[in-house]
């Protein structure tokens, strides 16, 4: 048993080094080869995807290194590696829950608390799914990725190896959930695989459930931007009642009222503002804008009460 | 724009439940240790003690490496 765990640890350590970038690159090449982006990668969106992938790393990595190498030893002196005795599998469970549940909350709050929505909007403005948009985030949203700091603290306390294992598995699941390759389709198609599908779609994020979260519509039986917040585990959505499992893929992705905000505004709002009139990222824009279809409904019936947050993209 | 009261209440309820979920793997780990009688932290303390005693050996060669 110990030899097996040691073997797994070695695989995981190697995968952590070069595995993730390779996985993203490999899936990206597959997506392009299959023509999955079609003509849906305009110049502005290309710029948003590429700058969001590269520039935040220049700021966030040094901040994170400072936190792990100076801040933690300063606030927790004498606690370094005190929990190295925790067995690997238990450490894995502790980190998996701590990291992924924290990310679930960070994600959910950015949807359910209106003033936080604009920090997460960049990730939802892409009208396509795939490797190109998987890392598309506002830099400030990425900087305060709370689970990263919690996991770093657990690593400082001695759970380094389990943390690497969780990272590899989590990166793989979240990357594949964002991919435009619907790897989960066969599980829904063949009856013999249905029991596996039932477990999988409740346990982890799949393209079907995560694509529904990125849909441009909601409450149509497929799109559900009001929920499906889970990153590695979908189980949190099941437990907290924020899940929608439809085994279908949305027809349209993104934000219904999106009009191509400039890359710098999407990367660094609120430092830079969008020049698109009426945009949520514009200087005088609304905190949360109604979906296009809902806006039309409101125009037709002008005597309406204050729009409910559950109708809004921010409630996804 | 303000957050709906129902959403706020649901968040509070779910956060309380989350605290239990955070503690669950730690509680289960110690429950397993209690049932099986394992004490892995003692192994670590033993290892450190052995390491100390081997490094504290007095150097009798006066710095010469012959």
Per-residue pLDDT of A133-186, as tens digits, reads: 888 999 999 999 889 999 999 999 999 999 999 999 999 999 999 999 999 999
CA distance A118 to A141: 9
Please give the C-alpha separations between residue A59 and each of A54, A65, A236, B18, B44, in angstroms, as whole numbers.
10, 10, 31, 31, 38
Look up tokens 């949305």; give the residue.
A250
Domain layout of chain A by residue ranges: 2-240
- What is the rounded CA–CA span in Å between residue B14 and residue A146? 18
Tokens standing for residue A168: 């590899």
φ, ψ of residue A93 in degrees (nearest 5):
-65, -45
Chain B residues touching A86 at Cβ < 8 A? 29, 40
pLDDT in tens, A95-138: 999 999 999 999 999 999 999 999 999 999 999 999 888 889 99
By Cβ distance, the residue of A90, A113, A288 closest to B25 is A90
| Subunit contact B26:A94, Cβ cutoff 8 A | yes
Residue A316 predicted with pLDDT over 60: no
* Residues found in chain A: 316
Residues of B (15-34) whose Cβ lies below 8 Å from A: 15, 17-18, 21-22, 24-26, 28-29, 32
Residue A211 pLDDT class (50, 70, 90 cuts) = very high
Which residues of chain B fall below pLDDT 70? 48-49, 51-66
CA distance B57 to chain A (A): 25
- Whether the CB of B51 is below 8 Å from some CB of chain A: the reply is no
CB atoms within 10 A of CB A84: 16
Contacts with B43 from chain A: Cβ below 8 Å: 85
* Residue A2, pLDDT score: 66
Of residues A222, A175, A195, A203, the one with CA closest to residue A20: A175
In the block, tokens 């830079």 appear at A272
Interface test with A, best of B1, B24, B27, B46 (most A CBs within 10 A): B1
Global pTM? 0.84
What is the distance in angstroms between the CA of the first residue and the CA of the last residue of chain B?
Answer: 81
- How far apart CA A286 and CA A96 sit, in angstroms, is 37
Q: Can you tell me the distance from the alpha carbon of A67 to that of A296, in angstroms, rounded to the nearest whole number? A: 48
User: Which of A237, A212, A240 lies closest to A224, judged by CA?
Assistant: A212
Q: What is the mean pLDDT of residues A247-263?
A: 94
Cβ-Cβ contacts under 8 Å for A315 (sequence gap 6 or more) = A111, A112, A225, A226, A309, B7
Looking at the complex, report in whole angstroms how far the Cα of residue A91 sits from the nearest Cα belonging to chain B. 9
What pLDDT score does A21 carry? 67
The structural domains of chain B, with segments of one domain joined by +, span 1-36
A195-200 average pLDDT score: 97
Amino acid A304: pLDDT: 46
8 Å CB contact of A98 and B21: no
Q: Do B44 and A85 touch (CB under 8 A)?
A: yes
What is the predicted pLDDT for the residue at A121? 97
Q: What does chain B come to in residues? A: 66
The answer to whether B60 faces chain A, any CB pair under 8 Å, is: no
How many other CB atoms are there within 10 angstroms of residue A43's CB atom?
9
Q: What angle do CA A134, A139, A140 make, to 5 degrees?
A: 125
pLDDT at A35 over 70: no
Contacts of A97 in chain B (CB under 8 A): 21-22, 24-25
Tell me the nearest-neighbour CA distance from B20 into chain A, angstroms.
11
Distance from CA of B59 to the nearest CA of A (A): 29
Q: What average pLDDT does this structure show over A58-83?
A: 93
């Amino acid at each position: 048993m110990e030899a097996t765990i040691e073997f797994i640890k070695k695989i995981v350590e190697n995968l952590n080094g070069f595995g993730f970038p390779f996985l993203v690159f490999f899936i990206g090449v597959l997506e392009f080869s299959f023509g999955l982006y079609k003509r849906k990668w305009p110049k502005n969106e290309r710029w948003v995807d590429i700058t969001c992938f590269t520039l935040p790393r220049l700021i966030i990595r040094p901040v994170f290194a400072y936190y792990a190498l100076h801040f933690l030893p300063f606030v927790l002196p004498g606690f370094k590696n005190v929990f190295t005795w925790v067995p690997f599998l238990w450490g894995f469970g502790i980190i998996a829950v701590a990291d992924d549940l924290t990310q679930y909350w960070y994600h959910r709050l950015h949807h359910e608390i209106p003033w936080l929505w604009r920090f997460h909007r960049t990730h939802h403005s892409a009208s396509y799914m795939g490797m190109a948009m998987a890392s598309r985030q506002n830099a400030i949203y990425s900087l305060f990725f709370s689970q990263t700091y919690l996991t770093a603290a657990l690593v400082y306390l001695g759970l380094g190896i389990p943390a690497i294992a969780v990272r590899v598995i989590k990166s793989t699941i979240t990357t594949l959930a964002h991919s435009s390759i619907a790897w989960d389709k066969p599980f829904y198609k063949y009856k013999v695989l249905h029991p596996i599908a039932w477990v999988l779609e409740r346990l982890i994020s799949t393209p079907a459930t995560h694509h529904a979260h990125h849909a441009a519509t909601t409450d149509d039986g497929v799109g559900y931007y009001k929920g499906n917040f889970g990153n590695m585990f979908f189980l949190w959505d099941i437990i907290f009642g924020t899940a929608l499992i439809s085994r279908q893929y949305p027809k349209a992705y993104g934000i219904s009222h999106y009009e191509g905000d400039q890359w710098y505004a999407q990367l660094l709002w609120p430092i830079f503002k969008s020049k698109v009139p009426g945009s949520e990222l514009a200087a005088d824009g609304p905190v949360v804008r109604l979906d296009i279809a809902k806006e039309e409904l409101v125009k037709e019936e002008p005597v309406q009460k204050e729009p409910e947050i559950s109708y809004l993209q921010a409630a996804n | 724009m303000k957050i709906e009261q129902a959403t706020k209440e649901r968040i509070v309820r779910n956060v309380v439940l989350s605290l239990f979920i955070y503690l669950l793997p730690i509680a289960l780990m110690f429950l397993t240790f209690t049932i099986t009688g394992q004490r892995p932290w003692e192994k670590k303390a033993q290892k450190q003690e052995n390491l100390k005693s081997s490094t504290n050996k007095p150097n009798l060669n006066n710095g010469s490496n012959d």
